[in-house]
Amino acid sequence: MDKIKLFIDGKEVLGTKGETILNIAAENGIEIPNLCHSKELKNFGACGVCLVEIEGNPKLQRACSAAIEDNMIIHTDTKRVKNARNAALELIMSDHEGDCVGPCSLNCPAHTDVQGYLKKIAEGKYSEAVEIIKKKIPLPASIGRICPHPCEAKCRRRLVEEPISIAYLKAFAADRDMESDSPFVPDIETGSGKNVAIIGGGPAGLSAAYRLILSGHSVTVFDSMPEMGGMLRYGIPEYRLPKSVLKKETENIKKLGVIFENNKKIGREEFSVLKKEYDAVLIATGAWKDMKIGCPGEELSGVFSGIDFLREINIGNVPKIGKKVAVVGGGNTAMDACRTAVRCGAEEVYVIYRRTRAEAPAEDIEIEEAIEEGVIFKFLTNPAEIIGENGKVKAVKLQIMELDEADSSGRRKPVPVDGKFEILEVDSVIAAIGQKYDSFGFEEMELSAKGMLLADEKNCSTNIEGVFAAGDATNKGASIAIAAIAEGNLAAAVINAYLLGVPFEKAEHRYSERNVTEKDYAEKEKAKRAVMPVKSPESRRHNFDEVINGFSEEQARNEAKRCLECGCHDYGECKLIRYADENRINMRKYKGVKHDIFTEKELVSIERDQGKCMLCGLCVRVCDEKIGKSLLGFRGRGFKTAIKPEFEHSEDIADCRNCLECEKICPTGALKIIK
Amino acid sequence: MRIVIGEGSCGIAAGAIKIHSAIEKYAAEKDIEIGITGCNGMCFLEPIVDIYDGKELIKRFVRVSESDAERIVNAVENEDFSSLSDIEISDEDKNFLDLQTRIALRNCGKTDPESIEDYMDNGGYKAIKKVLKMSPKEVIEEIKFSGLAGRGGAGFPTWFKWSAARKSAGEKKYIICNADEGDPGAFMDRAVIESDPHSLIEGMLIGAYAIGAQEMIVYVRAEYPLAIKRLEEAIKQAEKAGFIGENILGSGFSCKMRIKAGAGAFVCGEETALIESLEGKRGMPRLKPPFPAQSGFKNEPSNINNVETFANIAWIIENGGSEFSKLGTENSKGTKVFALTGKVNKSGLVEVPMGMTLRDVIYKIGGGIKNGKSFKAVQLGGPSGGCIPKELLDTVIDYKSLSATGAIMGSGGMVVMDEDTCMVGMAKFFLDFTAEESCGKCVHCRIGTKRMQEILTKIVNGEGEQGDIELLEELCGVIKDGALCGLGQTAPNPVLTTLRYFKDEYDEHISEHRCRAKECSAMLKYSINPEKCIGCTVCARNCPVKAINGELKKTHTIDQNICIKCGMCSKVCRFGAVSIG
Amino acid sequence: MSEYKSDLTKLEKVFEEYESNPENLITILQKAQEIYGYLPKDVMYKIGEKLKVSPAKVIGVATFYSQFRLEPMGKYLIMICQGTACHVSGSEKLASAVSDYLGIESGKTTSDGVFTLQKVACLGCCSLAPVMMINGEAYGRLTPEKAISILSEIRKKEAAE
C-alpha cells in the first residue's frame, strides 16, 4: 500500500494509513509515553499518558488508538500535552501506595542499596553483597564499623520491633569477602587518557578515586599523612576501626591502579602545579582544625584539641594527659577522645557537655559504652574558665546550665544558671567541640561565610575551572563519613563528565513512599535484632583491641532475613517512575485519600499489590485476550475499582500457576513473582 | 364522558393509583368510562384528573386527593362540575401548557399510553407508512431538512449520524435508543416512554428503515420500571399490528425490537459504554475512533439516538422537515423539552421552541421563584453542564448561545436555584455525583474528579486554603483534555461555570469562612438573640444534642462546642430569636 | 471449592428464558436478583458457567452496576433521592438524618435486617422533592423529622410482629 506522509514534532515521517500514531512515532524513534498499551492486546485508553495534539483537532488524542492521516501534523510535547500527561502521572502518584526504594536507602546519604545487599547476605552470597555495596561505598568493612547508620534510624523494621543491624551486616559481608578466595574485584573501563589529582585520601577522596579509576581515568591521591584514610585513619581510634581493616581496604583501591602519594602536603605552589599537570583536581582535604572553646585558660599547657589528640594517638604518640581528664563536647569525636583517654591510663575521665544526653549528637551506643568504661558525664555544664598553675592546667571551672524552650531548630537551647559554678580538678582538657577547614595553601579558593570551601552542591564545582571540591572541607563542614563518601561519588561523576566533555546533570530521582504505621505490621512475626558480641568493659578498658567481635554467620544471615523488603522489586524496570522522572512531575501535587490497598495472594505464584496498581488493566486483558482464561477481573467502579482474581474451582488456580504473563506485562511493581 | 387519570410516575408518586381505585369504586355500575393517560408535564399539580367528552377535554382537576373521588364521579354523572371549583385548574396554571409548543410531547398526557388504538386515533403510525414508500435516502434528506439535532446533549445533527450508519458496511446494523436518562434532575425520557411509547417506536422504526437496521434496541434505566412495562406492552401491540417484525406492512423491510434494562450506572449514557453494557459487560467507555456508526454493538454499525430525538421523528415525517425547521433559531431548529425543577413555582415538563429565553421559561411558564425568594442561577445539562447566573437570564435557548455561557443544552435538566443555594455546594454536589459515577477506567476522570471533589469538600467544610481555586482550575483543564469519554471531559463544567460566575462565593468560603447562602453548616454559627428570647424552652427541648442551656423565662444560650448546626432550634423557635451567622 | 448453598434449580427457568449468551449476563443477573433478593456467589458462578463467562468477569459486572447487591437486603429498602431538585430542597440533610437514625451508611443494612439504606440517582419525582422511597412507595416533601417519624412507625410495626 502507498505510504502517507505526516509530521511528528516537526519531523517528516512515512506510514501506512490506518496505523496508529504511537506505532509510527516509535518506528521513527520518537517515544510517546504510555502505560496501558501493549502491541499484543486491544487498545484500551485508560492511562491518558500517550496524549498528543493534532493540528486542526480541538481535542487531544490518544496516540495508542488515533490513526494517522495524510499530512497530519502531530505534536507530542506542547505545553497542553505536557500538562495533561503530567496530570495523569501526578494523579496516579497521588493514588499510589508503595515504596520505590526502602527508607533505609533513601536516608543513606550515598543511597546504598541496602535491601539489595541484605538479600545477598541472607542468601550467604557475601561477595555479591559487596558488589552491590561497592557501587556506593568503596570501604565497606571500615564504614560498616563506624557509620552512625542513618539507614537504621529509618528502617521500617522498627515498626515491628527493632531496626535491622544494617551497618554491622555491611562490615560482616565485607570482612567475609576480603577473607574469601575470590573477593569481589570491580571491572575497569578502558583508559580515557585523562588524569585526575585528588588532594586528600579520606573517605571523600578515596571514593572519588575509586569511581574515577573504574571509569578509566588515571588517578593520583595526595595526602599529607603517612597512611591513607584521613579521619578514618587518624581520627577514629583503633578499638572502633582497626588500622589493619582500613589498610586492607585502601590497599584494594591501590591495587586497582590508583597512585597513592603519602606524606605530600599540598601548598600553594604544589596546587598550581597540580592544576597544570592534571586534567582535573579534586580538593578533599577534610576539616582538621579544631574549634576553640573560647574561655580563658585555653592557651595553658595540658589543653588539647580532640582532633590533635586522636591523631597523635593514631600516629603512635601518647600525649601527656595525666590521671584526670576533662573532655569537652557531646559528639562522636568527644566520645572517641574520652574512651581513648581511658585506654591511655587516665583514671578519671569526664565529659563536659552543655546539654543533656538526649540532645547529645554522639551515637547512643558510644555514650553507653563510654559509661561502661567508667567515663563520668557532666551534662548541663560548660567550661567558664580553665584554671592554671605554673602555666599548666589545674582545674576547670564549670558553669551550670539549664535548658530553655526549644528554638526554631527544635533543639532546646542551654542557658547559664546565674552564679552556679563547679570546680573540677583536672590534669588536662581535651576540647572536641567541632572541626574547621584549613584553607592554608588554597587561598585562591572561594570560601563560604563560615570559612568553608565553597563548592556547588549539585556539581562540586568551585570558583576555578577544573577544580572540584567535596567532603568535610566544603560548604556545611564536617559531617559523617558516609556523607563524605556520597560527595566523593558525586564529584567523581561530575569529573567524569567534565573529562569526557559531556554536560553533567545530577540525576533527580523521584520516589513514591508509603505511609505506614505499626498497625500495618501488626501481623508480622517478631524477630529480635541481632546483638553484636562485644568484649567486656573490663577487658577492653586498657587496650585498643576492637570492641566488637563480629557476627557469626548464622547471626548475620538471620539478621539479614529480617529485612521487610520495603523497596519495590520493580524499581529499575518501572515505567511509571521512569516517566515521573523524565517528565519532572511533582509527586505531591495532588493530595487526597488513596484507594483501598490490599495484597492478593490467591494467585499462588504471583503476589498482587493493589497499592501499586494504577488500573491500566494490562494483567486483566492479557489473561483474557491472550491466555483466554480471564481469571483476573476488575472489581467495583470508579475510584474504588480494584483488580482481583476469582477462582471457582481449584483447577483454575492450578491453571493460573505457570503462565506469569500478567507479571511480565505489568508496567509497575504491582505484580511480583513469589515462587 | 370519560374520566382520565394522569398515571405517569409523578402522578403515581403523588397518589394517582389510589385515586384511580377510588374513582373505580364509586363509578362501579355507573355508565362512566375510566381511562388513563401519561404525564402532561404539570408535575406541580399532580395528581391530575381530566374529564373528556369524546376527544374534547372539558375539565381538568388538580392536586386531587382520594377523598375527591366520590364528588368527581358524582359530578361527571350529573354533568355538573360547579361544586368542584376548588380543585379545578386555575387560568394562571393553564398558562403552563398554553405557552408551550409540543412536538416530542404531543401525545403526553393526552392519549392512553397502553393503547395502540389511541395512538393511531391521534395520527400514529401514519409516518411509518409514508416512510416505507420513500427511499432511505429521502428519509434522511427530510430529517436533514428539519435541522433536528441529537437531543441527548451533544447536539450532533441526526441526519449525519444516520447517514454515516447507512453508509457503513456491516452484516447487520442496529438502531439503539439511549433511554439511560441519568442526569439528576432530568426525567423527560421517562415521561415520553411512560406517556407515549408508540411515538418512540415509530421514530425508531423510521430510523431503522433509513439506516437499514435489522434490530432496534432500547436501553432503559432500570430505575424506570413503569416505562419498561409500558414500552414492553407497546412493542407487543406494535408487533401484533404488523409494525415490527418480518416484512413490515408488506414493504419487504424487516426489523425486530427489544428492550434492555440498564442496571444502574450513569456512565452507560455515554454511547460506547452503553454498547459495552448491551454486550453484557462492565459499562466502561471504549476508545473513539472507531465510532459506533462504523463499529458499535457487536462491532457492527450502530446508530444511537436518545428518546426525545426519536419522539420528534414521526412528527417531522408527517408534517415535513420544513415545518420543524420553521421553529427555532438559525443554528437550532425545532423544540426542546426541559424538566423544570428546583426553586421554581411550577415544576414539570416543558417543551418550548428553540430561541425562547431562559427568563421566559422560568418566569412565564415556571411562574417564577418559590416563596418570593430571588433567583440566583439555573443549572442546565446536569453533571456535564453548568450554572447560568441572573445576568444571563435573557440568553436564548439554542445550542450555540447556551454553550457560550459555559453550560450546555444537555438532555434537558433545568434546575432553578435561589439565594439559599450555595454555588460551591452545588459544584460539590455535581462532583460528588461524577466521582461516584465515574466508571474508573481512565486516570483523569477516576482520580481527577476524586481530587476535585476532595478540594470542594474541603472548601465547603471551611477548610479551604489559598491555592485551592488555582488547583481546581488546573484540574478542570487537564481533565477536559485527558479524560477518555464525554462524561469525564465535561465533568469539570459545573465547577468551571460556578468559578466563572460565582468566584466571590468561593473566595468567601476560603478567606472569610462564610457561606452567604447559609447552606454550608460547617461555617454557620447559631446564636440566640437575648432581646427576642422569652425563655420558652422549646429550643432546648428540641435540641438533639442538648447544646442549649437556659431556665424557663430566662434567655437561653447555645454551647458552640456541642452544637452540631442542625438548625432545629431556629426551626422551632416561634419568636425568631435564633440567628444564623 | 465454593460451598453451594443457594438453591440453584431456581435459575433453570431463567436459563430457559434467556439464551446462554454472554450478552445476556446483565439481564440474567437481574432475574437472579429478583429470585434470591441478592446475588450469592454460587449463583454468580453458576451463571458464569452457563454463559461461559469467567467468574472474574461476572463479579466484575455485578460490582460495576449499582443495582446489584452482593449481600441480602433488608425487609424495607429505603431509597433516598439524590437528584438535583432534591438536592436543592435539602436531600443531603434528609439522608444524613436517616443515616444517623438507622445507624448505617448508604448501601448497608441494619443489623436486625429490617432496613437497607440506599442513596439513589434521581427517582424522577422532582416536583415532590425531597423524596424517599420505601419499597417502591414514594414519600415526598420530606423534612428530616417527617422521614424519621415514618421510619419509627415501621420500626414499631416490626417490633410488634
Residues 248-307 of B with CB under 8 A from C: 260-266, 277-284
Strand-pairing partners, residue B303, are B175
Q: With beta carbons under 8 A apart, name residues in chain A contacting B486.
A: none
**Would you place residue A1 in the very low, low, confident or very high pLDDT band (cuts 50, 70, 90)?**
low
Helix (H, G, I), strand (E, B) or coil at B108: coil
Q: What is the mean pLDDT of chain B?
A: 95
Tell me whether strands A51-54 and A73-75 are parallel, antiparallel or unpaired: antiparallel
Please compute the mean of the pLDDT values over residues A90-96 and round it to a whole number.
97
Structure ipTM: 0.93
What is the residue extent of each domain of chain C? 8-64, 76-160
The 10 Å Cβ neighbour count of residue A186 is 15
Domain C76-160 has CATH 3.40.30.10: yes
The closest CB to that of B439, out of A43, A88, A637, belongs to A637
Please compute the mean of the pLDDT values over residues A292-307 and round it to a whole number.
92
Strand-pairing partners, residue A385, are A397
What is the distance between the alpha carbons of residues A353 and A403, in angstroms, rounded to a whole number? Answer: 12
Reported residue count of chain A is 675
Q: Which residues contact A291 (CB under 8 A, 6 or more apart)?
A: A431, A433, A434, A435, A436
For chain A, say whether C8 makes contact (Cβ under 8 Å): no
What is the distance between the alpha carbons of residues B36 and B34, in angstroms, rounded to a whole number? Answer: 7
What is the distance between the alpha carbons of residues A664 and A671, in angstroms, rounded to a whole number? Answer: 8
pLDDT in tens, A399-435: 999 998 777 777 788 999 999 999 999 999 999 988 8
Strand-pairing partners, residue B219, are B178, B260
HSE, CB side, 13 Å, CA atoms: give it for residue A563: 27
CB contact under 8 A, B437 and A638: yes
What is the structure's pLDDT at A237?
93
CATH superfamily membership of A103-185+511-561 = Alpha-helical ferredoxin (1.10.1060.10)
Helix (H, G, I), strand (E, B) or coil at B418: strand
**Longest CA–CA separation in chain B, Å:** 88
CB contact under 8 A, C128 and B13: yes
Helix (H, G, I), strand (E, B) or coil at C160: helix
For chain C, say whether A631 makes contact (Cβ under 8 Å): yes
Task: Give, in degrees to the nearest 5, the angle at Cα A486 between A482 and A489.
Answer: 135
CB contact under 8 A, C85 and B341: yes
Q: Which residues contact A640 (CB under 8 A, 6 or more apart)?
A: A595, A596, B440
User: In chain B, whose CA is at the least distance from the CA of A85?
Assistant: B482
The Cα-based distances of B89 to B7, B108, B344 in angstroms read: 17, 18, 18
Enter the DSSP assignment of B427. Answer: H
What is the structure's pLDDT at C1?
39
Q: Which residues contact A272 (CB under 8 A, 6 or more apart)?
A: none
Q: Which three cell numbers stand for residue B130?
A: 409514508
Interface size, chain A vs chain C, as Cβ–Cβ contacts under 8 Å: 46
HSE, CB side, 13 Å, CA atoms: give it for residue C160: 6
The closest CB to that of A630, out of C54, C65, C66, belongs to C54
The closest CB to that of C68, out of B13, B263, B382, belongs to B263
**Percent helix / strand / coil, chain C, rounded to 5:** 50, 10, 35
Q: What is the mean pLDDT of chain C?
A: 90
CB contact under 8 A, B436 and A592: no
The H or E element spanning position C50 is: helix C41-51
For chain C, say whether B376 makes contact (Cβ under 8 Å): no
What is the structure's pLDDT at C19?
92
Q: Which residues contact A492 (CB under 8 A, 6 or more apart)?
A: A207, A208, A209, A210, A211, A212, A215
DSSP A101-114: S-HHHHHSTT---H
Helix (H, G, I), strand (E, B) or coil at A166: helix
What is the structure's pLDDT at C160?
86
For chain A, say whether C63 makes contact (Cβ under 8 Å): yes
Class of CATH domain A291-434: alpha beta
Q: Which residue has the cell 432546648?
A: B540
What is the distance between the alpha carbons of residues C35 and A601, in angstroms, rounded to a whole number? Answer: 34
HSE, CB side, 13 Å, CA atoms: give it for residue B179: 35
| Helices first, then strands: H and E counts in chain B | 24, 17
For chain B, say whether A641 makes contact (Cβ under 8 Å): yes
**Would you place residue A603 in the very low, low, confident or very high pLDDT band (cuts 50, 70, 90)?**
confident
Spatial CA neighbour of B509 closest among B566, B473, B454, B465: B465
Residues in chain B with pLDDT < 70?
none
Enter the DSSP assignment of B562. Answer: T
Percentage, residues of chain A above pLDDT 90: 86
Interface size, chain B vs chain C, as Cβ–Cβ contacts under 8 Å: 130
CB contact under 8 A, A48 and B287: no
Spacing of C-alpha A28 from chain mean position: 39
C28 in the Ramachandran plot: left (φ > 0), alpha (ψ -120 to 50) or beta? alpha
What is the distance between the alpha carbons of residues C99 and C106, in angstroms, rounded to a whole number? Answer: 7
Task: Provide the b/e sequence for B400-424 (b: ≥16 CB within 10 Å).
Answer: ebbeebbbbbbbbbbbbbbebbbbb
pLDDT in tens, A139-152: 999 999 999 999 99
Q: Please name the amino acid found at residue A527.
A: A
**Would you place residue A474 in the very low, low, confident or very high pLDDT band (cuts 50, 70, 90)?**
very high
Q: With beta carbons under 8 A apart, name residues in chain A contacting B477.
A: 83
DSSP A209-254: HHHHHHTT-EEEEE-SSSSS-THHHHTS-TTTS-HHHHHHHHHHHH
Which fold does the domain C8-64 belong to in CATH? Arc Repressor Mutant, subunit A (1.10.10)
CATH, range A195-288+436-500: 3.50.50.60
Domain with CATH 3.50.50.60 in chain A: 195-288+436-500, 291-434
CATH, range A3-94: 3.10.20.740
User: In chain C, whose CA is at the least distance from the CA of A621?
Assistant: C57
Sheet holding B335-342, edge to edge: B348-353, B335-342, B413-418, B375-380, B386-389
Burial of B239 (0-12, 13-18, 19+ CB in 10 A): middle
Residue C2 has pLDDT above 50, yes or no: no
Residue, of C156 and A406, whose pLDDT is higher? C156
> Are A145 and A548 a contacting pair, CB within 8 Å?
yes
Tell me whether strands B302-306 and B174-179 are parallel, antiparallel or unpaired: parallel
**Would you place residue C4 in the very low, low, confident or very high pLDDT band (cuts 50, 70, 90)?**
low
CB contact under 8 A, B13 and C121: no
Q: Which residue has the cell 533527580?
A: A508
The domains of chain B, with CATH numbers, are 2-98 (3.40.30.10), 116-324 (3.40.50.11540), 335-418 (3.10.20.600), 423-512 (1.20.1440.230), 524-580 (3.30.70.20)
Shortest alpha-carbon distance between residue C159 and chain A (Å): 36
User: In chain B, whose CA is at the least distance from the CA of A84?
Assistant: B478
HSE, CB side, 13 Å, CA atoms: give it for residue A82: 8
Shortest alpha-carbon distance between residue A80 and chain C (Å): 33
User: In chain A, whose CA is at the least distance from the CA of C63?
Assistant: A636
The closest CB to that of B281, out of C61, C68, C124, belongs to C61
CB contact under 8 A, C54 and A629: yes
The H or E element spanning position A634 is: strand A632-635
Q: With beta carbons under 8 A apart, name residues in chain B contacting C51.
A: 280
Neighbours of chain C (3+ CB pairs under 8 A): A, B
Q: Which three cell numbers stand for residue A123?
A: 542468601
CB contact under 8 A, C126 and B339: yes
CB contact under 8 A, C56 and A649: no
Enter the DSSP assignment of A336. Answer: H
Q: At what angle do helices C144-160 and C91-102 cross, to 10 degrees?
A: 30
What is the distance between the alpha carbons of residues B159 and B137, in angstroms, rounded to a whole number? Answer: 10
CATH assignment of A596-673, among 3.40.50.970, 1.10.3720.10, 3.30.310.50, 3.30.70.20: 3.30.70.20
Strand-pairing partners, residue B417, are B377
Shortest alpha-carbon distance between residue A614 and chain C (Å): 17
Residue ranges with strand state E in B157-272: 174-179, 215-220, 256-261
For chain A, say whether B238 makes contact (Cβ under 8 Å): no
For chain B, say whether A636 makes contact (Cβ under 8 Å): yes
Domain with CATH 3.30.70.20 in chain A: 596-673
Contacts of B296-300 with CB under 8 Å at 24 or more apart are: B296/B174, B296/B176, B296/B271, B296/B272, B297/B174, B297/B176, B297/B217, B298/B172, B298/B174, B300/B170, B300/B171, B300/B172, B300/B173, B300/B174
pTM of the model: 0.90
> Are A224 and A263 a contacting pair, CB within 8 Å?
yes
What is the structure's pLDDT at A628?
92
Q: Which residue has the cell 429478583?
A: C34
CB contact under 8 A, B450 and A636: no
The 10 Å Cβ neighbour count of residue A628 is 8
The closest CB to that of A636, out of C56, C57, C63, belongs to C63
pLDDT in tens, A116-162: 999 999 999 999 999 999 999 999 999 999 999 999 999 999 999 99
Q: Please name the amino acid found at residue B472.
A: L
Residue C3 has pLDDT above 70, yes or no: no
What is the structure's pLDDT at C120?
83
Spatial CA neighbour of B348 closest among B333, B365, B325, B363: B365
The closest CB to that of B482, out of A88, A637, A640, belongs to A88
Shortest alpha-carbon distance between residue C114 and chain A (Å): 26
Spatial CA neighbour of B426 closest among B333, B351, B498, B526: B498
Q: At what angle do helices A332-343 and A364-372 cross, to 10 degrees?
A: 20
Task: Provide the b/e sequence for A560-571 (b: ≥16 CB within 10 Å).
Answer: bebbbebbbebb
Shortest alpha-carbon distance between residue A252 and chain B (Å): 52
Q: What is the CA radius of gyration of chain B?
A: 26
For chain A, say whether B63 makes contact (Cβ under 8 Å): no
